[in-house]
Amino acid sequence: MKVNVKKLNDKAKLPTYGSAFSAGADLYSCEEYTVEAGETVFVHTGVAVELPAGTVGLVYARSGLACKKDLAPANKVGVIDCDYRGEIMVAIHNHGKENRVIGEGERVAQLVVAPYYVCEFCETDALSETVRGAGGFGSTGR
């Protein structure tokens, strides 16, 4: 699938895959940032995308950044709708106790492009029965 990407900044890098079977393409910071402990910054990637109709861009944490630097997306998963044409920015939160630096050109998140469904939500008085039923958090691990 081809996705058009527009650079909005001379320092921007196109998203790249780390290996042939990577699900997520790395997104890069086009500036340097200091993220103070417990704080959140909006990291500019300098790119905008034209996602195909019927797809969504899901912005996830990079495990290395989260585990080694305590930095991860503040909203956990960012959602880029296919009709959005603005810059992809990643709200990065520092979960650690030390200030951290994100370098210019550093990989800050990963973008997964996936199909989605638009549903018609229909009110009803009853739902079909299942073995699980209304069992919630932790109910399937017993």
The tens digit of pLDDT for each residue in 28-71 reads: 999 999 999 999 999 999 999 999 999 999 999 999 999 999 99
* Fold that domain 4-115 belongs to in CATH: Deoxyuridine 5'-Triphosphate Nucleotidohydrolase; Chain A (2.70.40)
Each domain of the chain, given as residue ranges in start order, spans 4-115
Which own/partner pairs from 66-72 qualify as long-range (CB within 8 Å, at least 24 positions apart)?
66/95, 69/96, 69/100, 70/94, 70/95, 70/96, 70/98, 70/100, 71/35, 71/95, 71/96, 71/100, 71/102, 71/108
> Among candidates 73, 76, 66, which has minimal Cα distance to 90?
73
The tens digit of pLDDT for each residue in 100-134 reads: 999 999 999 999 999 999 999 999 999 999 988 88
pTM: 0.90
